[in-house]
């Protein structure tokens, strides 16, 4: 998920720099962060990092989309306890939280993606959150699992997101169940001139490990093997396992067929699909708003299966509330996160902000009854595993993404390239 | 207090002339100076008082954080300000002090800090002390005791005691409705007759106790370390305001052997390489390591590690070529255009000039992003217009060309402006003399204009070189340092040293500030050496005059 957002993050960073005018020109605004930046870079109300509101009794940092909704419930919480709650916009929550907490100026609570967890724990910036097991049981098990690191839980989830197959129903009325069917249908459309591409998916010159993973997983490959406790084992990298190599071979085939291309990246992929001449688009809920605006008639379905393997299974990304380990108001922070966030009305309201399936089962059921998209996203994520949240994952994004890009571009053979990637990842983990 | 000060305070009473004379007499070096009017003296002292006041606030803040060195520095600066501006002795220092302070805080201090960091392993996973890492590991290992009840909690203190400091008591209700009193010794029964409960079971009143309000509870920072000890060796801890659970830390620290032990698996962890590694070598280390001094390890790493060194040399070579070609190409194009538009017979010069400055007026970040999309192999404007199929951003050489082309576009207007200015300052009679002597246009440019131009523009070229040597924004936005080759994603084909250091420090595998600081020291040395050489050369140019 790191690399997928780099374009948006860079643009956000640039916007911030431009607005900041004479601000320092090397602000590291574009640390490829997770989902918070994927939602089409909202115009930030503040340009630099937020400054902790000193007058507030509870400070929450979130991205611009979610702030208004959290504010509403934060106000209710503040009224109940007679305190002032400040909800502030952070343009890059992950990095800004890390920097501010280092100098003891961080917020009490942050809202972010679960794959930041390993890094946050490693740097001692988040505190365990002991949710009542009875309350925890009301959440989707995968969502709860994603909040855990080394067996400890560090937050409360509110949304689950994953990629699926989005198709332009004007070009492709029915959803293909296999990649072969998808490619032949796409090729026919390209030949007849109705389409410009067979399908689009974010790849880019440096590749994208998040979108590469489902291809490897379809053949039983992946990134890390799981340990006895069910967590990912950083000492067992399986990027060049036989299953992963079959997935890599599939990438080569799709690259040759021009279904995948390194010239499609985060900056142009939406525009290509929204031009109405691309039948299939492998993406997540973040791309839907733009497609709607472009008046594309779309439908969402699970990822297709690959010949000789199984269904492509995406990573699950979980959005959650964290409590800072250096919270100045730890009691209020814990109270808000454990008693407010699991409420159904809060989860439903947060759904309105991002249109991701809620993590609370009862809230999901309510939404899914009326919203077909949410149901489709949820079904596309069935069987998916949470994205690894161990710090070792930071050693994977670059090498795996680049390996996939090189194979797709036809610059390297799958086996040799993925062997090399495996070697680089293992060496990087040993270094870290 | 010196006699002058007495004079000053007397102010307007004495005619200026008188005090002037007195002053000249008493000043050993006989510097003629006017007595300042009273408002100036007052302003001066108000400013001094303000400065000292601000420094006092700074000192107060640093005291709160326990940073004593900060207090010493603030006090020293305050003393300097009072001594230099309060007395009439150190006249040169009056001019130099502000600059000196700024030089130290903005230049010397960052350099010293960078150098200090380069001798540590500071980076992700190595941010704090060993003590903190032990505390973190243990605190994060607290697990809820299986099948223990969840209690409803009210935090209380003894009646008529101070809510902010008095001993804490937990008034607990278990799911069955039974009430308990918890303190630092342990759990005891609380007779139901002594308490009043809310419908959810939470105690709202208890005889002999004062229940704290939410704000009072939140203000008790000692709650984070407070736990009611239980029989199993665990403790009852609060979750927010109204809930408590029984938890137990599964990791413990043994000071004598300096090991951490996981009680569930019996595994021992020892301190290796600033991390807690399993003693038997099986499995992973705890993620929380600590910061420590590593001596010259980072320097050794840059100089001896094969990948780092090879990469470093490769990047350095390209960095040098990039800076030289960027300066050269932008200067040549800018100068040619300036010469062209300097022709007196040309009409509409103003219009052309403003058009040519446009790329300079656009924000460089936007331009770089736009060029990046124009260089796209399949969808970019450049390949489409020229009917090419160059993989601009995927091929190492093409990527370098793309960067130089973009930088030419970004940089020539600056050179154009500078050269236009310099050309207009070349005296007309010199050119006229050349004409009379029968010099051709080319000869005039070569022998008259160029030498005179370079005198003015030379130092700017060096500045431009130094700027381009560290042109982070362009590379970062255009290629991100890529393309990455040879199955190595740490060193890109179009990386500059600065983007390489950035990747080491802030992104990639695991941010390593120590190593990045080391790399930036090398960059500093290179740029300093080259700039020194460059400035010596421009001195030679000045001999033309």
Q: Do A14 and B487 touch (CB under 8 A)?
A: no
Mean pLDDT of the B295-321 span: 84
DSSP lists the bridge partners of residue B180 as B172, B189
What does DSSP assign to residue B238?
Answer: E
Q: Are B8 and B41 in contact (CB under 8 A)?
A: yes
For chains A and B, what is the number of CB pairs under 8 angstroms?
A: 178
Q: Assign A43 a pLDDT band (cuts: 50, 70, 90).
A: very low
Q: Residue A192, SS3?
A: coil
Asked if residue B156 and residue B86 are part of one domain, the reply reads no
In a domain, B28, yes or no: no
- Enumerate residues 417 to 476 of chain B having a beta carbon within 8 A of any beta carbon in chain A: 472-473, 476
Q: Do B489 and A402 touch (CB under 8 A)?
A: yes
Which tens digit of pLDDT belongs to each residue from B34-78? 567 888 889 989 999 999 999 999 888 888 777 788 888 889 989
Q: Which of A30-39, A59-68, B160-169, B358-367 is predicted with the least confidence, judged by mean pLDDT?
A: A30-39
Q: Do B510 and A14 touch (CB under 8 A)?
A: no
Neighbours of B9 (CB within 10 A): 11
Which tens digit of pLDDT belongs to each residue from B409-420? 999 999 999 999
Neighbours of B110 (CB within 10 A): 10
Q: Assign A359 a pLDDT band (cuts: 50, 70, 90).
A: very high
Which stretches of B67-206 are DSSP H helices?
68-86, 91-103, 109-118, 130-140
In a domain, B300, yes or no: no
- DSSP per-residue string spanning A340-393: TTTSHHHHHHHHHHH-PPBSBHHHHHHHHHH-HHHHHHHHHTTTPEEPP-SGGG
Rg (C-alpha) for chain A, rounded Å, is 21
On chain A, the residues whose CB falls within 8 A of the CB of B287 are 118, 121-122, 150, 391
Neighbours of B273 (CB within 10 A): 11
Asked if residue B537 and residue B461 are part of one domain, the reply reads yes
Distance from CA of B419 to the nearest CA of A (A): 26
Q: Assign B250 a pLDDT band (cuts: 50, 70, 90).
A: confident
Alpha-carbon distance of A8 to A266, in angstroms, equals 7
Q: Are A62 and A111 in contact (CB under 8 A)?
A: yes
> What element of type H or E holds B254?
strand B251-254
Q: Do A124 and B144 touch (CB under 8 A)?
A: no
Q: Residue A181, SS3?
A: helix
Q: Show Cβ contacts of residue B473 under 8 Å, excluding neighbours closer than 6 positions.
A: A25, A26, B364, B365, B368
Percentage above 70 pLDDT, chain B: 92
Alpha-carbon distance of B453 to B424, in angstroms, equals 10
Which tens digit of pLDDT belongs to each residue from A403-417? 999 999 999 999 999
Distance from CA of A372 to the nearest CA of B (A): 34
Residue A409 is predicted with a pLDDT of 92
Query: Among partner residues A122, A130, A131, which is closest to B288 by beta-carbon distance?
Result: A122
Asked if residue B175 and residue B46 are part of one domain, the reply reads no
Any chain A CB within 8 A of the CB of B183? no
Any chain A CB within 8 A of the CB of B390? no
Residue A255 is predicted with a pLDDT of 94
Q: Assign A428 a pLDDT band (cuts: 50, 70, 90).
A: confident
Minimum Cα–Cα distance from A266: chain B residue:
B373
* Domain C-terminal end among B266, B290, B314: B290
A12, pLDDT greater than 80 = no
What six digits make up the tokens of B11? 């102010």
Any chain A CB within 8 A of the CB of B131? no
Which tens digit of pLDDT belongs to each residue from B470-506? 899 899 988 888 788 877 888 888 999 888 888 877 7
Domain count within chain B: 4
Spatial CA neighbour of B182 closest among B192, B173, B172: B172
pTM confidence score: 0.79
On chain B, the residues whose CB falls within 8 A of the CB of A264 are 378
Asked if residue B521 and residue B432 are part of one domain, the reply reads yes
DSSP lists the bridge partners of residue A85 as A58
What are the residue ranges of CATH 3.40.190.10 in chain A? Answer: 3-161+317-386, 164-315+389-431
Residue B441 is predicted with a pLDDT of 84
Q: Residue B267, SS3?
A: coil
Residue B308 is predicted with a pLDDT of 74
Rg (C-alpha) for chain B, rounded Å, is 36
What length is written for chain A?
Answer: 432
Mean pLDDT of the A46-60 span: 77
**Domain carrying residue B136:** 128-141+251-290
B291, pLDDT greater than 70 = yes
- Alpha carbon of B235 to those of A80, A178, B170, B172, B230: distances in Å? 29, 55, 12, 13, 5
Asked if residue B136 and residue B186 are part of one domain, the reply reads no
Q: Which of A204-208, B205-209, B541-545 is predicted with the least confidence, judged by mean pLDDT?
A: B541-545
- Enumerate residues 44 to 73 of chain B having a beta carbon within 8 A of any beta carbon in chain A: 65
Asked if residue B201 and residue B340 are part of one domain, the reply reads no
What six digits make up the tokens of A208? 């994208």
On chain B, the residues whose CB falls within 8 A of the CB of A17 are 365
CATH assignment at residue B450: 1.10.3720.10
Minimum Cα–Cα distance from A150: chain B residue:
B141
Q: Do A83 and B215 touch (CB under 8 A)?
A: yes
Spatial CA neighbour of B366 closest among B401, B406, B320, B325: B406
Chain B interface disruption, residue of A7, A81, A97, A130, most B CBs within 10 A = A130
Which tens digit of pLDDT belongs to each residue from A85-125? 999 998 889 889 988 888 888 899 999 999 899 889 988 89
Q: Which of A166-175, A225-234, B131-140, B498-507 has the highest mean pLDDT?
A: A166-175
Residue A39 is predicted with a pLDDT of 34
Distance from CA of A399 to the nearest CA of B (A): 6
Asked if residue B501 and residue B376 are part of one domain, the reply reads yes
On chain A, the residues whose CB falls within 8 A of the CB of B110 are none
In a domain, B516, yes or no: yes
On chain A, the residues whose CB falls within 8 A of the CB of B150 are 132-134
Any chain A CB within 8 A of the CB of B488? yes
Q: What is the mean pLDDT of chain A?
A: 85
Q: Do A272 and B366 touch (CB under 8 A)?
A: no
Q: Pairing relation of β-strands A58-62 and A85-89?
A: parallel
Q: Are B155 and B212 in contact (CB under 8 A)?
A: yes
In a domain, B365, yes or no: yes
Asked if residue B198 and residue B208 are part of one domain, the reply reads yes
Asked if residue B401 and residue B318 are part of one domain, the reply reads yes
Minimum Cα–Cα distance from A330: chain B residue:
B218
In a domain, B409, yes or no: yes
Asked if residue B158 and residue B244 are part of one domain, the reply reads yes
On chain A, the residues whose CB falls within 8 A of the CB of B377 are 263
Residue A251 is predicted with a pLDDT of 94
- What is A164-315+389-431's CATH superfamily? Periplasmic binding protein-like II (3.40.190.10)
Asked if residue B402 and residue B258 are part of one domain, the reply reads no
**A3-161+317-386 belongs to CATH 3.90.550.10:** no
Chain B interface disruption, residue of A133, A206, A261, A322, most B CBs within 10 A = A206
In a domain, B332, yes or no: yes
* Global ipTM: 0.76
Spatial CA neighbour of B360 closest among B410, B431, B421, B311: B410
Q: Assign B298 a pLDDT band (cuts: 50, 70, 90).
A: confident
Minimum Cα–Cα distance from B238: chain A residue:
A331
B462, pLDDT greater than 90 = no
Maximal C-alpha separation, chain A: 67
**Cα angle at A85 between A82 and A89, to 5 degrees?**
170
Q: Assign A294 a pLDDT band (cuts: 50, 70, 90).
A: very high
Counting DSSP H helices and E strands in chain B, the numbers are 20, 15
Asked if residue B320 and residue B189 are part of one domain, the reply reads no
Distance from CA of A130 to the nearest CA of B (A): 7
């Amino acid at each position: 998920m790191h690399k997928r957002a780099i374009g948006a993050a860079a643009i956000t960073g640039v916007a911030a720099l431009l607005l900041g005018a004479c601000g320092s020109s090397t602000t590291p605004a574009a640390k490829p962060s997770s989902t918070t930046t994927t939602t089409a870079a909202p115009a930030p109300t503040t340009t630099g990092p937020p400054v902790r509101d000193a007058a507030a009794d509870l400070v929450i940092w979130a991205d611009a989309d979610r702030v208004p909704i959290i504010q509403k419930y934060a106000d209710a919480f503040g009224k109940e306890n007679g305190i002032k709650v400040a909800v502030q916009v952070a343009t890059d929550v992950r990095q800004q939280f890390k920097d501010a907490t280092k100098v003891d100026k961080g917020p009490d609570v942050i809202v972010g993606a679960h794959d930041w967890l390993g890094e946050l724990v490693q740097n001692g910036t988040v505190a365990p959150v002991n949710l009542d097991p009875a309350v925890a049981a009301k959440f989707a098990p995968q969502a709860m699992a994603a909040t855990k690191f080394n067996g400890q839980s560090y937050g409360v989830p509110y949304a689950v997101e994953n990629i699926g197959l989005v198709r332009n129903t004007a070009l492709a009325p029915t959803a293909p169940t296999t990649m072969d069917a998808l490619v032949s249908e796409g090729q026919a459309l390209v030949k007849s001139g109705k389409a410009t591409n067979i399908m689009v998916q974010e790849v880019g010159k440096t590749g994208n490990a998040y979108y590469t993973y489902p291809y490897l997983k379809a053949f039983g490959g992946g990134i890390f093997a799981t340990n006895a406790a069910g967590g990912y084992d950083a000492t067992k990298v399986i990027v060049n396992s036989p299953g992963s190599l079959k997935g890599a071979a599939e990438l080569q085939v799709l690259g040759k067929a021009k279904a995948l291309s390194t010239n499609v990246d985060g900056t142009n992929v939406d525009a290509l699909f929204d031009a109405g001449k691309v039948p299939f688009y492998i993406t997540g809920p973040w791309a839907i708003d733009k497609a709607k605006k472009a008046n594309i008639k779309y439908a969402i379905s699970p990822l297709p299966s690959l010949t000789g393997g199984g269904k492509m299974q995406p990573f699950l990304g979980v959005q959650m509330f964290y409590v800072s380990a250096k919270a100045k108001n730890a009691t209020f922070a814990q109270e808000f996160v454990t008693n407010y966030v699991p409420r159904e009305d809060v989860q439903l309201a947060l759904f309105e902000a991002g249109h991701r399936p809620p993590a609370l089962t009862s809230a999901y059921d309510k939404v899914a009854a009326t919203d077909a998209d949410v149901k489709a996203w949820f079904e596309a994520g069935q069987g998916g595993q949470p994205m690894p949240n161990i710090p070792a994952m930071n050693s994977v994004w670059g090498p795996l993404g680049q390996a996939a890009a090189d194979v797709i571009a036809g610059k390297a053979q799958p086996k040799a390239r993925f062997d090399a990637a495996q070697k680089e990842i293992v060496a990087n983990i040993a270094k870290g | 207090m010196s006699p002058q000060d007495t004079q000053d305070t007397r102010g307007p009473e004495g005619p200026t002339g008188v005090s002037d004379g007195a002053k000249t007499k008493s000043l050993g070096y006989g510097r003629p100076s006017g007595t300042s009017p009273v408002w100036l003296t007052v302003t001066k002292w108000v400013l001094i008082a303000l400065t000292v006041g601000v420094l006092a606030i700074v000192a107060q803040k640093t005291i709160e954080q326990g940073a004593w060195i900060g207090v010493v520095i603030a006090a020293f600066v305050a003393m300097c300000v009072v001594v230099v501006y309060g007395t009439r002795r150190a006249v040169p220092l009056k001019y130099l002090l502000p600059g000196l302070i700024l030089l130290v805080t903005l230049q010397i201090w960052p350099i010293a800090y960078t150098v200090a960091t380069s001798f540590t392993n500071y980076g992700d996973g190595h941010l704090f002390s060993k003590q903190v890492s032990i505390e973190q590991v243990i605190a994060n290992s607290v697990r809820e005791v299986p099948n223990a009840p969840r209690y409803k909690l009210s935090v209380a203190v003894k009646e008529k005691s101070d809510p902010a400091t008095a001993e804490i008591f937990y008034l607990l209700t278990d799911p069955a409705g039974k009430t308990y009193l918890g303190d630092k010794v342990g759990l005891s029964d609380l007779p139901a007759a002594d308490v009043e409960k809310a419908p959810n079971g939470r105690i709202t009143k208890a005889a002999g106790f004062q229940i704290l309000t939410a704000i009072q509870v939140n203000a008790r920072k000692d709650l984070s370390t407070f736990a009611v000890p239980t029989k199993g060796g665990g403790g009852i801890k609060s979750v927010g305001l109204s809930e408590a659970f029984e938890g137990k830390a599964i990791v413990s620290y043994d000071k004598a052997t300096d090991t951490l032990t996981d009680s569930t698996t019996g595994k021992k962890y020892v301190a290796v390489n600033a991390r807690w590694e399993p003693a038997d070598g099986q499995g992973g280390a705890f993620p929380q390591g600590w910061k420590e001094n590593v001596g010259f390890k980072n320097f050794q790493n840059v100089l001896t590690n094969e990948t780092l060194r090879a990469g470093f040399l490769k990047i350095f070579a390209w960095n040098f070529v990039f800076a030289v070609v960027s300066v050269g190409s932008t200067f040549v194009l800018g100068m040619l255009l300036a010469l062209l538009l300097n022709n007196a017979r040309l009409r509409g010069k103003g219009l052309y000039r403003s058009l040519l400055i446009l790329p300079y007026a656009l924000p460089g970040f936007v331009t770089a992003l736009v060029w990046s999309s124009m260089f796209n192999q399949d969808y970019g404007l450049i390949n489409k217009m020229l009917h090419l199929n160059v993989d601009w951003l995927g091929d190492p050489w093409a990527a370098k060309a793309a960067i130089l082309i973009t930088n030419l576009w970004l940089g020539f207007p600056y050179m154009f402006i500078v050269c236009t200015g310099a050309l207009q300052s070349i005296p007309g009679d010199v050119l006229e003399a050349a004409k009379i002597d029968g010099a051709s246009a080319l000869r005039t440019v070569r022998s008259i204009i160029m030498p005179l131009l370079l005198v003015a523009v030379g130092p700017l070229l060096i500045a431009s070189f130094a700027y381009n040597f560290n042109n982070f924004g362009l590379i970062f936005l255009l290629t991100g340092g890529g393309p990455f080759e040879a199955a190595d994603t740490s060193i890109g084909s179009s990386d500059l040293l600065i983007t390489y250091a950035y990747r080491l420090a802030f992104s990639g595998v695991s941010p390593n500030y120590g190593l990045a600081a080391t790399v930036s020291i090398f960059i500093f040395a290179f740029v300093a050496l080259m700039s020194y050489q460059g400035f010596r050369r421009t001195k030679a140019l000045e001999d033309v005059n």
